[in-house]
A = this chain, B = another copy of it.
């Protein structure tokens, strides 16, 4: 009863490794530097073998994103489920989850942002696009529900919860993007302080005391 299972596990592991390799290359050299050759090299697998695990190059990247986004979904889901115990810390907690995700896997975060914005998506086969879309939608919808709860509960200012959730999320998004920008240009960033001040400003602007 072991062999089939072990094979499956090994295969999954290899897939994981390949996806990580792709991400790493993305982070070091950018999207269009990702080649099957380089991925193969890092995995110490032959180029041809990669095609045993993925139908084509795109699939590696897409799967990497979708997979890693799941972690994000999970921590948001967790927050949503515990919303009642949080009392006045809903915003802080949400922000903390953003930070958690970003700091745990900055490459993934960056890559996700990149892919979701990039034209790459335009040239994707329908089904892969749907994968990404769906995975993104889950995140959006969770954020929405969390904020909606805050608004209804009277913690937040009275406004359209969807819009508000976008304001919060984009606030974080922009910070990360700027940070990335700086990295690319090898300037030093102030990510932490910007991030903290942003939260402070948001609190003041959003939370009813």
Contact = CB atoms under 8 A, between A and B. Distances in A.
A184 interface: yes
A198 B180 CA distance: 22
A85 interface: no
A43 B74 CA distance: 45
A75 interface: no
A11 B203 CA distance: 53
Nearest to A168: B201
Contacts of A166: 175, 178, 190, 194
Contact of A193 (B160, B173, B175): B160
Contacts of A198: 167, 170-171
B185 A129 contact: yes
- Which among A31, A33, A166, A190 has the greatest number of chain B C-beta atoms within 10 A? A166
A136 B123 CA distance: 29
Contacts of A203: 205
A205 B194 contact: no
Number of copies: 4
Task: Kindly state the interface size class of chain A when it binds its partner.
Answer: 35 or more
B133 A193 contact: no
A162 B170 CA distance: 20
Contacts of A173: 170, 173-174, 177-178
A206 B164 CA distance: 17
Interface of A: 26, 29-33, 113-114, 116-123, 129, 132-133, 136, 157, 159-160, 162-164, 166-167, 169-175, 177-178, 180-181, 184-185, 187, 190, 193-194, 197-198, 200-206
Please list the 10 inter-chain residue pairs (A to B) with the smallest Cβ-Cβ separation, ordered nearest first: A30-B119, A174-B174, A170-B174, A205-B205, A201-B205, A173-B174, A204-B205, A166-B194, A170-B175, A167-B198
